[in-house]
């Protein structure tokens, strides 16, 4: 009974602890954290719980006889709880791998991420980041297409990035794999009054933007700073 109480305490308290991490901004009254923080907290709690359960199962097996209790431990620790752990791990991992810090974890991306935080920078990416035109996951938001297909394509491309970074198969300066599609810009900007009423966006020419005949970057770039020697391997 005591073990069960301890396990229940662990599962319930860990997400609360993770959700209570101070973000430096005053939070509204009654704030209990985001869904992501709870997913991460439950994931940590279930993983720890399962490690404890596995230890009990191992000890139970070492006793020599396989009792009903041992069967129970085996079913829960090898068959049941790992499914929960897998669910939370994938949910958290997929989300965490879209953050700016995840992109910046590769050394070659350092100049790009540093530029985002540079108050003097006027690159397109820095403007979007510093003014919070995109609230979070700025790299991922601009470098993935809209919809489920865009997410899948971006994740597959991400696997390629991890592989090339790990084995060192990339070339400096880093270049975008394909010409940047205007549809990613238009997904946010196309319906805004500032865009529609801008002198530089005559309605007669809008089809050129949609078709990709004229690139948004051509007028509003550069998107990122010129790469210097520090980005080299």
Partner 1 sequence: MTHGSVPPRVLKIAIVLAFVFNVLAFLVMVHTTPIIFTLFMFVGPPIFVVAFGLLVAAVLADLKTKQLL
85 near partner 1, judged by CB under 8 A: yes
**Cβ contact 97:136 at 8 Å:** no
Binding pattern to partner 1, positions 91-130, x when CB under 8 A? -xxx-xx----x--xx------------------------
Q: Which of 15, 37, 88, 112 is close enough to bind partner 1 by CB under 8 A?
A: 88
Q: Which of 10, 16, 89, 183 is close enough to bind partner 1 by CB under 8 A?
A: 89
**Cβ contact 99:154 at 8 Å:** no
Q: Which of 6, 66, 172, 198 is close enough to bind partner 1 by CB under 8 A?
A: 66
Which of 160, 222 has the CB closer to partner 1?
A: 160
The rounded distance, in Å, linking the Cα atoms of 227 and 173 is 6
Neighbours of 41 (CB within 10 A): 24
90 near partner 1, judged by CB under 8 A: yes
Q: Which of 15, 33, 37, 50 is close enough to bind partner 1 by CB under 8 A?
A: 50
Residues of this chain, 3-42, that bind partner 1 according to CB under 8 A: 40
Q: Which of 71, 107, 228, 232 is close enough to bind partner 1 by CB under 8 A?
A: 71
The rounded distance, in Å, linking the Cα atoms of 47 and 41 is 10
Which of 82, 150 has the CB closer to partner 1?
A: 82
Binding site for partner 1 (CB under 8 A): 40, 43-44, 47-48, 50-51, 54, 57-58, 61, 64-66, 70-71, 74-75, 77-79, 82, 85-86, 88-90, 92-94, 96-97, 102, 105-106, 158-159, 161-162, 165-166
């Amino acid at each position: 009974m005591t073990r069960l109480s301890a396990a229940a305490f662990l599962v319930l308290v860990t997400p609360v602890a993770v959700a209570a991490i101070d973000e430096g901004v005053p939070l509204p009254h009654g704030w209990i954290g985001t869904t992501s923080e709870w997913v991460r907290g439950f994931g940590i709690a279930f993983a720890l719980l399962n490690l404890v359960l596995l230890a009990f199962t191992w000890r139970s097996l070492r006793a020599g006889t396989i009792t009903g209790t041992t069967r129970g431990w085996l079913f829960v620790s090898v068959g049941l709880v790992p499914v929960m752990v897998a669910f939370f791990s994938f949910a958290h991992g997929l989300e965490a791998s879209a953050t700016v810090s995840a992109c910046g974890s590769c050394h070659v991306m350092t100049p790009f991420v540093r530029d985002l935080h540079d108050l003097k920078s006027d690159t397109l990416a820095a403007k979007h980041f510093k003014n919070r035109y995109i609230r979070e996951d700025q790299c991922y938001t601009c470098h993935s297409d809209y919809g489920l297909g865009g997410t899948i394509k971006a994740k597959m491309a991400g696997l390629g990035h991890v592989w090339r970074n790990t084995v060192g198969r990339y070339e400096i300066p880093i270049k975008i794999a394909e010409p940047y599609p205007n549809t990613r810009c238009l997904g946010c900007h196309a319906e805004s009054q500032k865009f529609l009423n801008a002198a530089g966006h005559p309605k007669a020419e809008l089809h050129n933007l949609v078709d990709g005949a004229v690139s948004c970057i051509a007028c509003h770039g550069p998107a990122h700073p010129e790469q210097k020697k520090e980005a080299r391997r």
